Structure 1
Amino acid sequence: MRMADVGGTGRAVAVALGAVLVAGGCTVQTTGPDGEGHAPVRIEVTTGAPPKSTPSGDRRPSGTPSGDRPPSGTPSGGREPSDSVPAAGAKAARVLWKRGDSGRDVRELQARLRQVEWLVDGPTGTYDDLTERAVSGFQGKRGLPRTGRTDTVTWQRLLGMSHEPGKWDLYLMGGQPAAAPDPRCTTGRVLCVSKSSRTLRWMIDGRTVSTMSVRFGSRYTPTREGVFQVYWKSRHHVSTLYDSAMPYAMFFSGGQAVHYSSDFAARGYAGASHGCVNVRDEAAIADLYAQVRNGDKVVVYR
């Protein structure tokens, strides 16, 4: 394998060793029900969600409310208790959120709809057509008017069937706030990668140019932490070890690289890499790849 970007006779031995390591590459693990091929992936979950406002006039139960249990299987299958809300109560309900709304409360609504299997996509924070259809289906199953708008009656019923979502439930597909940059990221050109917030900052002389969501290897194939340098870029890289594409690969430690992952784009944090830093936004990493140079610093920290 050629490594045309690495020059200098003084580094010949290091380059040769790097070529051997890179030949394997790293890509998404073949995942089973628990997100990994041979051992369960440990996904960090923050049990407390960020502070949020509760719609005025509604009290939200503490803990996991009693009441209905989520249906097994798909929404159309299985039987549920006969617990429909009277139509009079539904008419008096006040609309909380509807199509076109956005914000953290909408993100929580979507996370709870995922728990009861009425929504497949990760929370986006935008009340779109998929959310409207999910709410309508949820309402129809319980004898409520199928408006697709989340009113107080629909919301209370959903609260009774779901639990408070954690941080990663709310940000399954990314979009979470970036952590404060590590002090080692404040000088020079740096790919500043935070494991705690699962984000990458592209920084130049202490200024954040862009940020993006990332995911890492599992505990069995962890992404290495420390200070590294980009030593090789490969736009159309394919892992010879896993026979899988690693577009926009920027190698920084042996076979570990920052690269685009179509699996991350499709499934979010349900999977894991074999140690690489996966990016789900292809447009963002294409732009990043065009800016990053060999020799730029990479800092991976907690």
Structure 2
Amino acid sequence: MKVTEFSDASRIVGRPAVAVAALAVLVGCTAQPTSGDAKGHSPIRIELPHSSPPGRTAGAKPTPAPSAVETTPPHIVYTRGDTGPGVRELQARLRQVAWLFDGPTGTYDDLTVQAVKGFQGKRGLPRTGETDAVTWRRLVGMTHRPGKWELYLMGGQPAAAPDRRCLTGRVLCISKTSRTLRWMVDGRTVSTMSVRFGTQFTPTREGVFHVYWKSRHHFSTLYHSPMPYAMFFSGGQAVHYSYDFAARGYAGGSHGCVNVRDEAAISRLFAQVRNGDKVVVYW
């Protein structure tokens, strides 16, 4: 049987930054409470001089008190390993200024660290890779508050409910809506992972299929690119690990295959899936 393989096709979508907002907007858009952040750090406080110090006599010339500025360094808002909706918002804003091409995942991972370093270096800030208060305010000033589409529908959202065809047997249950793959056995979800699909001109087929060939170290002779952990289910379309997806996230797309970016996860999946197991691709 001759198999035509499909692999990655990349296209980077850039987004221009929006104009810098007014200071009042900057304060209103920050996700951190003014009394301190979740890590227990206190915000920077500035005490203004008194125009009329208590106890001065009538008619006496006002004597302003010296200003006192707290000199502690900016507190860290987010750092490597943090998770949650705040990190997801940070990632969505980094996407808006083209420093991050991965879909928001809600986890402060290596790609986020590199994106923050790039953003900081471009603006003369210390390249720590940690999002401190100064970095956060600068980013908020250059971006708009992300909506649901930017936060979730570019990838990294929770897995969609399984299609009814996934509820029996051994199934790779793949949702195009949530861009996720569930590995299910007899209606029980064993594992889930983010996936990427084909582009407009090379779409991933939808329907019910079966794994007919597994190729651990597969290489596409058609597109001259590696397709490790390939599990073919429809002609040349397969579920496989993608180096491009791992590096650039949803900025690109495949030639019809279902790309996985977590190599450890697909390695475990490849070991469990057998030829003949069902594959369901649905919206």
Question: Would you call these one fold, judging by a TM-score over 0.5?
Answer: yes
Contact 1:102 1:126 (C-alpha < 8 Å) held by counterparts: yes
Segments of 5+ residues of structure 2 without an aligned counterpart are 15-29, 36-66
Distance 1:250 1:88, change over 3 A: farther
TM-score with structure 1 length normalisation?
Answer: 0.64
SS at match of 1:283: helix
Distance (Å, rounded) in 1 between the aligned partners of 2:272 and 2:99? 41
Q: Partners in 2 of 1:169 and 1:157 — Cα distance?
A: 19
What's 1:97 paired with? 77
Q: Is the 8 A contact 1:233 1:249 kept in 2?
A: yes
Q: Report if aligned partners of 2:184, 2:191 keep a CA contact under 8 Å in 1.
A: yes
Deviations 1:79-103, CA, capped at 9 Å, x for gaps:
xxxxxxxx98997998571435432
Q: Does 1:25 align with 2:5?
A: yes
Q: Which residue of 2 aligns with 1:179?
A: 160
Taking structure 1 as reference, are residues 300 and 139 closer, same or farther at Cα in structure 2, changes over 3 Å only?
Answer: same
Match of 1:269 among 250, 256, 269: 250
Q: Is the 8 A contact 1:216 1:223 kept in 2?
A: yes
Q: Corresponding residue for 1:16?
A: none
Q: Which has the larger radius of gyration?
A: 2
SS of the equivalent of 2:276 reads: coil
Paired residue for 2:232? Answer: 251
Identity %: 66
- Kept in 2: contact 1:217–1:276 (CA 8 A): yes
SS in 1 for 2:253: coil
Deviations, residues 213-251 of structure 1 (Å, cap 9, x unaligned) = 100001111100001111111112122221221111111
The 8 Å contact of residues 237 and 257 in structure 2, kept in 1 or not, is answered as: yes
CA RMSD of aligned residues (A): 3.6
Partner of 2:208: 227
Q: Which runs of 5+ in 1 are unaligned?
A: 1-18, 36-52, 59-86
Match of 1:113 among 94, 100, 115: 94
- Return closer, same or farther for 1:147/1:252 CA change in 2, 3 Å cut-off: closer
User: Which protein has the bigger strand share?
Assistant: 2
CA distance in 1, matches of 2:155, 2:68: 40
Q: Tell whether the 8 Å contact from 1:259 to 1:277 is kept in structure 2 after alignment.
A: yes
Q: Is residue 290 of structure 1 aligned with residue 271 of structure 2?
A: yes
